[in-house]
Amino acid sequence: MTETLGSTGEFGLIAAVTKGLSQSEDVLVGPGDDAAVLAVPDGRMVITTDLLVEGRHFRRDWSSAYDVGRKAAAQNLADVVAMGARPTALVVGFGGPADLPTAWALELNQGLVDECELVGASIVGGDTVQSDKIVVSVTAFGSLDGRAPVLRSGARPGDEVAYIGRLGWAEAGWTVLARGFRSPRAVVEAHRRPQPPYADGPRAALRGASSMCDVSDGLLADLGHVAEASQVVIDVHTKALTVPEPLQAVAAATGADALKFVLTGGEDHALVGTFEPADVPEGWTVIGSVAEGNEERPPGTVTVDGAPYAAETGHAHFRS
């Protein structure tokens, strides 16, 4: 008989999950008490949280449990590095139905553990509950190691806009999966497991990034947040953006606009930042510029090649 959450029970699942966890020296009290205790030598803690719901953020027929774990950790760790911080730990809330195979929950956990290992973070606590649909909440923590946090509000007129990581791949993967296809494999894999450029967040902070955020809603939407918070105008230069071959293939096969994947696709968790022209770090691609607002283009505006962008700029949760 397959073991399920119902037969394993809450405490059985917690025991199985925590058995395999390794804890860094920053973990003063790990899982198993009312709360964890984490050393915060910097005196400041970076905190971010995300909630993933089955059917909305992942589908069990599209992604393995392991993939869901990787992605749930990745999207939170990406938020931490987008502040210029080094991820240190996370806590996880997990809800699933009583008939879910226990193996599914353990594979999810392994995905979380393996993604954390990429950055040296520990899983320090969690909660498990019963729920009709699978729900995963992740809260991630990071250390600034003495640096100032890089906010969305620091972009200045004259800065260049640059990004590092992937743009549009996850959206292209979603597009083919939604039509019942499983290829091109590269974009399907990108949808299942984002690959945020973790090390580049703290590096950009050291290089003096004036603003930074991770691209979770889509490039134009997230630059909109930067433009709004910084009260500037941002222009994106499409000639600086290359459209990778797999995205072109998806666009050709589905009648989609390949450039739109790049401009509006979310969930790849690239990093986009603003820098003084001399400060753009190696490996980043300059794709735009920051200017002051004026009457025609008020602060908070994002333009594409100098003009407003016609289509929707990114995800809109809650709207159907």
How far apart CA 88 and CA 121 sit, in angstroms, is: 4
Is 50 marked as binding a ligand?
yes
CB 161, CB 288: distance < 8 Å: yes
- Shortest spacing between CB 76 and its own copies, in angstroms: 9
Is 289 marked as binding a ligand?
no
- Shortest spacing between CB 48 and its own copies, in angstroms: 4
- Shortest spacing between CB 283 and its own copies, in angstroms: 20
Judged by CB, which is closer to its own copies: 30, or 111? 30
Judged by CB, which is closer to its own copies: 137, or 175? 137
Is 79 marked as binding a ligand?
yes
CB 103, CB 3: distance < 8 Å: yes
Question: CB-based burial of residue 90 (10 Å sphere; 0-12 exposed, 13-18 middle, 19+ buried)?
Answer: buried
How far apart CA 38 and CA 21 sit, in angstroms, is: 15
**In 3-state terms, what secondary structure has residue 74?**
helix
DSSP H helices in 233-291: 245-254, 258-264
Tokens of 277: 């022209």
Is 264 marked as binding a ligand?
no
How far apart CA 118 and CA 270 sit, in angstroms, is: 16
Judged by CB, which is closer to its own copies: 34, or 296? 34
How far apart CA 120 and CA 97 sit, in angstroms, is: 31
Judged by CB, which is closer to its own copies: 63, or 137? 137
Is 152 marked as binding a ligand?
yes
- Shortest spacing between CB 52 and its own copies, in angstroms: 8
Judged by CB, which is closer to its own copies: 148, or 252? 148
Judged by CB, which is closer to its own copies: 42, or 276? 42
Is 26 marked as binding a ligand?
no
The neighbour count for residue 196, using CB atoms within 10 Å, is: 29
Is 61 marked as binding a ligand?
no
- Shortest spacing between CB 223 and its own copies, in angstroms: 13
How far apart CA 193 and CA 115 sit, in angstroms, is: 10
Is 95 marked as binding a ligand?
no
Closest CA to 216 of 271, 267, 140, 261: 267
- Helix 102-119 × helix 5-19 angle, to 10°: 20
- If phi > 0 it is left, if psi is from -120 to 50 it is alpha, else beta; for residue 279 that is alpha
CB 141, CB 46: distance < 8 Å: yes
Is 49 marked as binding a ligand?
yes
What one-letter code names the amino acid at 271?
A: L
Judged by CB, which is closer to its own copies: 151, or 187? 151
From first CA to last CA, the distance across the chain in angstroms is: 40
- Shortest spacing between CB 276 and its own copies, in angstroms: 21
- Shortest spacing between CB 27 and its own copies, in angstroms: 10
Detail the residues annotated as belonging to a binding site. Answer: 34, 48-50, 57, 79, 126-127, 152, 214, 216-217, 267
Annotated binding site for Mg(2+): 34, 48-50, 79, 127, 214, 217
Binding residues for ATP, by number, are: 126-127, 152, 216
| Residues in binding site for substrate | 57, 267
